Structure 1
Amino acid sequence: MCGISGILSFSSGLKVNYLQDVIQRQTKQLSHRGPDAEGYFIEDGIAMGHRRLSIIDLHNEANQPLFDSTGRYVIVFNGEIYNYQTLKQEIKGYPWQTTSDTEVILAAYQKWGADCLKFLNGMYAFAIWDRTKKELFIARDRLGVKPFYYNYNAKKFIFASEIRAILATGMVAKELNSEAIIDILSFQAAKTPRSIVSGIQQLPPGCCALLNKAGFSIKQYWSIVEKKPSSTFNLSFAETIEKTKLLFTEAVKSRMVADVPVSAFLSGGIDSSAIVGVMAGLSTQPIETYSIVFKEKKFDESKYARIIAEKYKTKHTELLLSPSKLLDELPAFFSSMDSPTTDGINTYIVSKLVAQAGGKVALSGLGGDELFGGYQGFKRHQQFNEWANPQLKTLSKLIIPLLPKNRQGNKIVDLISANQWNLSTFYNNSRAIFLQKEIKNLGLESKCQLPWLNLRDSKVTNYPLLSQYSIAELTNYTLDVLLKDTDQMSMASALEIREPFFDYHLIEFLLSVPDKFKYNPKISKSLLVKALCDVIPLEIINRPKKGFTFPWSNWLKTDLSDFCKEHINSLSKRDIFDKKVLFGLLTDFEKSKNGILWLHIWALVTIEAYLIKNNL
């Protein structure tokens, strides 16, 4: 896990001395991502920089930028290739200089060109410069676990792991992207391929690109809906359970490969418990586990985490988090926020805990809910498809006046008033913080933006209902909020997080599984529970679902109240929102009126804190 940066120009005649200054400014902004080493590659017209967090092959020879054996190709790479050892055996005759996974990418590119991506299993964002052809090849992993930001015009191409490293060049204006503001209010983060800064975009997941004098072309090399679901799933339930267990175990095993100790986040939920249980069975040493605890019993899961820690004799560490502790951390948290989202402080706190204890790598249960139907949205989507019919359209005018004036009622009104009912309509309604009419009340007008993956496409709707919702989650909320938070907040403490549930082999298989094998109204994530029943205790399986969240509603009305008021007041002075509506939202939240929740307020506070910190 590292930080990458670069600048390339075919026409502006950027000289070495100038490039050296620019790339050093860029890479300095990424120092938190890689405290172990830094390096640069600079030639006329191009510069690439790297900050390294040493995980695999700790020797200096594996530092980056790294050249292939011929000296023709040079790479900067952020991430891990989990199957690099297997892939290395398939590349015959290459004179290996290191034992790193980075060199395996170079050797694979030398052998197969862009087709090397078909063979890589991992999380990655990298750039390879061909010194002979004078062209740059870039790629991002299939699910978008690792970020790749860029700015491109006819004169130059700038890229980096973080937005701030692109802004550090001084070549991109700090201009706020108003559409990204609407994204944050609607869905908690800027949606791919947009970013918070106009002119800076995200390379979509599963995409690669080639840049040369002829121009810049993006190609999708993998899609989450690439493999058409079979009309006849030919595995029995028992066989499905067995294959799920096998694929999940392999995903965990491959993510335990490192030249440093590998620990795990442990909330006491099904997902993290399954990971720790499998890890313990694969390791000869006790696993180090970490969890956050609260005084507020409604949110505290420590007793469940302890059950797993005791069962598998882990080296377990707990961090008691109070509102005062959180308030103390907020300045550092917002300083760490490269791209504003509303959900990152959870990961920031636990990552800092692990890093302070000396950890460099931790496994996370992120993705389990999305793949196995753990959210309530999955159940609601099934129900929606059962009652969404023409007759309901007729009855909607009678239903609307009967609905409660709370958040749930507001969302139902918004949904049944829609012109069309489909997966996209339902999902966007389900995940929305501010509804479109509420955004208009704030003084913003949303333009129609085509999503990078169209949820109305038959490639999506041909999947089973639960898988359709999984696809929606993985390509929206998970990609733009959870994975973004995981990367930026863990790397703020130079911690690498690996997510076994994001193994693409596991995902491709689970999306093909029929709903009847996935859903059991009495058991949450029943397929995962069945597959891992030998490692997950009954106390964990039967426990009430909480989810890893903080007591935000209480805190924003008490200890964090002044902080929120200060930022809302500051935000009101910008020429973005209707001031009266802003203050009205804060009042409604304090009085628990009109369905205004803490997340509405925190989204606005987060935007203002980010704008202040980054001078946008």
Structure 2
Amino acid sequence: MCGITGWVDYTGLGPDAGTTLRLMTETLHARGPDATGVWLSESAGLGHRRLAVIDIEGGGQPMTLARDGRTVLALTYSGELYNYRELRAELVRRGHTFTTASDTEVVLAAWHEWGLSSVDRFNGMYAFAVWDLVQRRLWLVRDRLGVKPLYYQRLPTGVLFGSEPKAVLAHPRGAARVDEEGLIQLMLPLLKVPGRSPYAELVEVRPGSVVRVDQSGVREHRYWRLERDAGGPAADSEWPSVVAATRDLLEDIVERQLVADVDLGTLLSGGLDSTAITALANKLGHEDAVRSFSVEFTAPFQPTEVAAGADGPYALEAAAHLGTDHTRIVLDGARLADPAARLACVRARDLPLGIGDLDMSLYALAQRIKQHSTVALSGESADEVFGGYLWFHRDDSVWADTFPWMADSPAHGRLHPRILRLFRPELRERLGVHDYVADQYRTAVAEVAGHPGEDRVERRLRELRHLGLTRFLPTLLDRKDRLTMAAGLEVRVPFCDHRLVELVHPLPWAALTADGREKSLLRAAVRDLLPESVATRRKAPYPSTPDPAYAAAVSGQLAARLADPACRLPELFAADQLRAAVDPVSQPGSLISNVGAEIMLNFDVWLTEYQPDIPL
């Protein structure tokens, strides 16, 4: 896993191109701590920071391909191609030769052989840029589910691009400007609008898309769409065959994602999703027991509501049942409250989008895992694929005329209403935040075509699955990528394999809830591998520290910032909400008890560090 950046300017890169490109590349050091490289031509520059995972000695980048003594393609690539061995064998049969054992060289050769259509053959998580020296054309490519990030900014005569906004913003022409739509998006951390970034000039390459840049301009092509490639009623939805097909595919996915030339482990919470991945990894691994890691928090006491859903006992039972080489990682609330931890997380995301201590704990967890492993498999996205969230199963969220996780419902802790009311009401009204959400919701629902014979309930639940995969999952993938890569840890997400999505998404809702519970299909497919406690466990959210000292520290930090005359938070947040966040009413066991102070402190760090131009 790596970080990529660069730019194209058809009028020439200028005399300082090398210095600028190295500066842009260096901003991505955390994504690729093992090596750096740049490649320059008259019109294009590619930068790369490498996290060495496959072919440690031979996979350096940027990588070029030559024919008849002339360089014809240059590539900077981030990601993992899980079927690179099969593609390599096919390319050898077609006459290609290879000098490395890396998947990067396979991507480069595949592009030369098949061009744009090569993406239809790729299975993996990736974001890459290919500069075609013959046609003087740049291609920016992102994987189908958007696991790996990629952004670009148009120039009058070219584009800037990077894995993260920070790389683009490091260029002299990069712009940290937020327009009104961008400001609305900053108020909506639970919603990721496809193709849009809060930075006005910065475009996010959509999942499953290719962007072509040449002298005629910039064009985007979608090579994969959820409702086209994973849509329509399933041809065979008989329960036994669906369960068997799901299990077979999961085994193939996990076995492919175990390939690495570095130490590999799994994230094990003791929930269904992570235990399924860990069990399959342990079963399919060909050497020692798989490493597994769980996270817990120190606290002087554990409120009953929190302790009842704590992951620790389940993770330990799962690890013992599976026989993994397990490590308990215990995070201290005081360290999570360190302002340096928040600063690192805001810098990792380039935006103030974190909620509660969830960012700081994920970043700290990744740092600790990195001491043992460079790659980890995660259970992320199983809830979107298999319909696991509570908002799939509560009428007040299912039938809400909005995104279900943003409804005023306990299904997602009423987080959206709590967050939105933090901001000054006159600002929300001027920007038309509610109308914006309604417009985005209508746009998303319109992407779901009706099916003959489908009743109202089936149609609605299919809409919710579409919304989850296209509007909610991207927020989770972005968070996980940024915060783990900031620690130099590559996290792989087997449930994001597009073949699994294409298998499961067309199934009727009854196939996903056959035993009367959430994620029935996944449970049935892996039940023989699980301890009974995990197989019957109710879903629990990602854990938050219960330490009251953490909450007190956060409130105290906010009070100190508001006492500074230079603090800009009153420009954004309502006065009564600022007061309430400084002296919150105790809410033991609630999901992110003082969400106000958390978000306000994130904004304070972002405003100070990035000095954005915002329309206030």
- TM-score by length of structure 1 reads 0.86
How far is the alpha carbon of 1:550 from its aligned partner?
Answer: 0.6
Q: Could you give the per-residue CA deviations for residues 74-131 of structure 1, whole angstroms, max 9, x where no partner exists?
A: 1000111111111222222111121111111111111111111101111111010011
How far is the alpha carbon of 1:442 from its aligned partner?
Answer: 5.7
Whether the aligned pair in 2 keeps the contact of 1:288 and 1:314 (CA below 8 Å) is yes
Which one-letter code corresponds to 1:286 in the other structure?
A: A
Q: Could you give the per-residue CA deviations for residues 549-589 of structure 1, whole angstroms, max 9, x where no partner exists?
A: 21369456423221233356669635732552442542684
Partner of residue 578, structure 2 = 583
Which one-letter code corresponds to 2:387 in the other structure?
A: G
Residues 75, 503 of structure 1: alpha-carbon distance in 2 compared, 3 angstrom cutoff: same
Aligned residue runs from structure 1 range 299-314, under 5 A: 299=307, 300-314=310-324
Aligned residue runs from structure 1 range 131-142, under 5 A: 131-142=133-144
For 2:348 and 2:397, how far apart are their aligned partners in 1? 39
Identity across aligned pairs (percent)?
A: 27
Matched, 1:353 2:349: no
Partner of residue 407, structure 2 = 429
Partner of residue 82, structure 2 = 82
Aligned residue runs from structure 1 range 120-269, under 5 A: 120-188=122-190, 191-227=193-229, 229-231=231-233, 233-269=235-271
Partner of residue 63, structure 1 = 60
Matched, 1:487 2:486: no
Matched, 1:33 2:18: no
Partner of residue 294, structure 1 = 297
Whether the aligned pair in 2 keeps the contact of 1:66 and 1:75 (CA below 8 Å) is yes
Whether the aligned pair in 1 keeps the contact of 2:380 and 2:493 (CA below 8 Å) is yes
Whether the aligned pair in 2 keeps the contact of 1:233 and 1:514 (CA below 8 Å) is no
Q: Which range is displaced more, 328-337 or 123-132?
A: 328-337
- 3-state SS in 1 of match to 2:363: helix
Partner of residue 441, structure 1 = 425
For 1:601 and 1:553, how far apart are their aligned partners in 2? 16
Whether the aligned pair in 2 keeps the contact of 1:180 and 1:195 (CA below 8 Å) is yes
For 2:552 and 2:583, how far apart are their aligned partners in 1? 15
For 2:426 and 2:318, how far apart are their aligned partners in 1? 46
Whether the aligned pair in 2 keeps the contact of 1:185 and 1:434 (CA below 8 Å) is no
Which one-letter code corresponds to 1:78 in the other structure?
A: S
Which one-letter code corresponds to 1:10 in the other structure?
A: Y
Residues 599, 519 of structure 1: alpha-carbon distance in 2 compared, 3 angstrom cutoff: farther
Partner of residue 394, structure 2 = 380
Q: Which range is displaced more, 365-374 or 563-572?
A: 563-572
Whether the aligned pair in 1 keeps the contact of 2:342 and 2:602 (CA below 8 Å) is no
Residues 196, 576 of structure 1: alpha-carbon distance in 2 compared, 3 angstrom cutoff: farther
Provide the alpha-carbon RMSD of the alignment: 2.7
Task: Say which of 601, 606, 613 aligns to 2:609.
Answer: 613
Unmatched 5+ stretches in structure 2: 452-457
Whether the aligned pair in 1 keeps the contact of 2:378 and 2:492 (CA below 8 Å) is yes
Aligned residue runs from structure 1 range 491-530, under 5 A: 491-519=485-513, 522-530=516-524
Partner of residue 395, structure 1 = none
Residues 596, 586 of structure 1: alpha-carbon distance in 2 compared, 3 angstrom cutoff: farther
Which one-letter code corresponds to 2:51 in the other structure?
A: L
Partner of residue 340, structure 1 = 352
For 2:467 and 2:606, how far apart are their aligned partners in 1? 27
Residues 545, 112 of structure 1: alpha-carbon distance in 2 compared, 3 angstrom cutoff: same
For 1:213 and 1:163, how far apart are their aligned partners in 2? 24
How far is the alpha carbon of 1:242 from its aligned partner?
Answer: 0.7
Whether the aligned pair in 2 keeps the contact of 1:361 and 1:496 (CA below 8 Å) is yes
How far is the alpha carbon of 1:612 from its aligned partner?
Answer: 1.8
Whether the aligned pair in 2 keeps the contact of 1:290 and 1:354 (CA below 8 Å) is yes
For 1:35 and 1:159, how far apart are their aligned partners in 2? 20
For 1:596 and 1:337, how far apart are their aligned partners in 2? 20
Whether the aligned pair in 1 keeps the contact of 2:555 and 2:582 (CA below 8 Å) is no
For 1:177 and 1:434, how far apart are their aligned partners in 2? 23
For 1:232 and 1:192, how far apart are their aligned partners in 2? 27
Partner of residue 52, structure 1 = 50
- 3-state SS in 2 of match to 1:58: coil
How far is the alpha carbon of 1:349 from its aligned partner?
Answer: 1.8
Whether the aligned pair in 1 keeps the contact of 2:424 and 2:572 (CA below 8 Å) is no
Q: Which range is displaced more, 187-196 or 219-228?
A: 187-196
Which one-letter code corresponds to 2:554 in the other structure?
A: L
- 3-state SS in 1 of match to 2:125: strand
Residues 231, 544 of structure 1: alpha-carbon distance in 2 compared, 3 angstrom cutoff: closer
Whether the aligned pair in 1 keeps the contact of 2:404 and 2:464 (CA below 8 Å) is no
For 1:82 and 1:126, how far apart are their aligned partners in 2? 15
For 1:49 and 1:453, how far apart are their aligned partners in 2? 39
How far is the alpha carbon of 1:441 from its aligned partner?
Answer: 1.2
Partner of residue 602, structure 1 = 598
Whether the aligned pair in 2 keeps the contact of 1:177 and 1:197 (CA below 8 Å) is yes
Which one-letter code corresponds to 1:72 in the other structure?
A: V
Q: Could you give the per-residue CA deviations for residues 504-551 of structure 1, whole angstroms, max 9, x where no partner exists?
A: 000111111111111157534221111101111111122343222213
Unmatched 5+ stretches in structure 1: 389-414, 416-420
For 2:516 and 2:280, how far apart are their aligned partners in 1? 24
- TM-score by length of structure 2 reads 0.86
For 2:177 and 2:378, how far apart are their aligned partners in 1? 35
For 2:32 and 2:180, how far apart are their aligned partners in 1? 32
Task: Say which of 515, 531, 539 aligns to 2:525.
Answer: 531
Whether the aligned pair in 2 keeps the contact of 1:65 and 1:76 (CA below 8 Å) is yes
Residues 274, 607 of structure 1: alpha-carbon distance in 2 compared, 3 angstrom cutoff: same
Whether the aligned pair in 2 keeps the contact of 1:150 and 1:203 (CA below 8 Å) is yes
Q: Could you give the per-residue CA deviations for residues 241-268 of structure 1, whole angstroms, max 9, x where no partner exists?
A: 1111111111111111111121111111
Which one-letter code corresponds to 2:142 in the other structure?
A: R
Count of residues paired in the alignment: 574
For 2:422 and 2:487, how far apart are their aligned partners in 1? 37
Q: Could you give the per-residue CA deviations for residues 155-199 of structure 1, whole angstroms, max 9, x where no partner exists?
A: 331001111111111212332344333323323466332223221
- 3-state SS in 2 of match to 1:433: helix
For 2:187 and 2:258, how far apart are their aligned partners in 1? 37
